[in-house]
Amino acid sequence: MKGLIIVGSAKIGSHTTALAHFLKGHFEEHDFEAEIFDLAERPIHQLDVSGASNPSEDYKQNLQDLQSKAREADFFVLGTPNYHGSYSGILKNALDHLTMDDFKMKPVGLIGNSGGIVSSEPLSHLRLIVRTLLGIAVPTQIATHDTDYNKLDNGTLYLDNSEFQLRSKLFVDQIISFVKNSPYEHLK
């Protein structure tokens, strides 16, 4: 079983990516592959159904990779920073490039990080999007704040809050339980 963790921060080395790495480690402890697709490192072009723009080959390749990995994924984690009280436009643009066929009846975990007042509202907004894509947003979600992270000597951020570390384990366990039990397999 393999999952795709899509991170929609504008910043390379974001807090959300640090959380994604923490979760990836837990998935792997359960022998579940979880690949991180960080949209800051691998940007894609804006959705353009008229073909008026001229995206670079790099962007086109990134999009192709995102789409094929999404199609193959057994589950998703969607990660977003809090931007203006909601999820990022970067993540929304990525989701606009995907379809119900990618998400239908697949478990989806939601994670986010705020730099100001900590908020789970971006995740509530994402929950609606996931429902529209026919995915199953699992009940446990993770909404952190910048202060829940610390930096290694090389500047890499890591999750440094024991409560969120525990919650992350429960979050991963819950997604795995949904994947293993596949309650809606027959509806795919």
Work out whether 15 is an interface residue with ligand FMN (CB under 6 A). Answer: yes
Using DSSP's 3-state secondary structure scheme, residue 38 falls into strand
Stretch that binds ligand FMN, among 13-21, 43-51, 100-108, 165-173 (CB under 6 A): 13-21
d(CA 119, CA 113) in angstroms, rounded, equals: 8
Select the span of 6-14, 41-49, 53-61, 98-106 touching ligand FMN (CB under 6 A).
Answer: 6-14
Q: If binding is defined by CB under 6 A, does position 33 make contact with ligand FMN?
A: no
Shortest distance (Å) from residue 145 CB to ligand FMN: 8
Query: What is the spatial distance between Cα 186 and Cα 113, in angstroms, rounded to a whole number?
Result: 35
CB closer to ligand FMN out of 25 and 115: 115
Tell me if 183 contacts ligand FMN by CB under 6 A: no
Q: Does residue 144 bind ligand FMN (CB under 6 A)?
A: no
d(CA 129, CA 41): 24
Q: Are 80 and 87 in contact (CB under 8 A)?
A: yes
Given the complex with ligand FMN, which of 16 and 168 has the nearer CB atom? 16
Binding segment (CB under 6 A) for ligand FMN, from list 80-88, 91-99, 100-108, 166-174: 80-88
Binding of residue 113 to ligand FMN (CB under 6 A): yes
Q: How far apart are CA 186 and CA 170, in angstroms?
A: 26
Residue 99 vs 161, nearer CB to ligand FMN = 161
* Angstrom distance (rounded) from CA 188 to CA 175: 18
The answer to whether residue 150 forms part of the interface with ligand FMN (CB under 6 A) is: no
Note whether 65 binds ligand FMN by CB under 6 A. Answer: no
Q: Residue 137, SS3? A: strand
Which of these, 78, 148, 82, lies nearest to 111 by C-alpha position? 78
Round to whole Å and give the CA distance between 136 and 155: 35
Binding site for ligand FMN (CB under 6 A): 9, 11, 14-16, 81-85, 113-117, 146
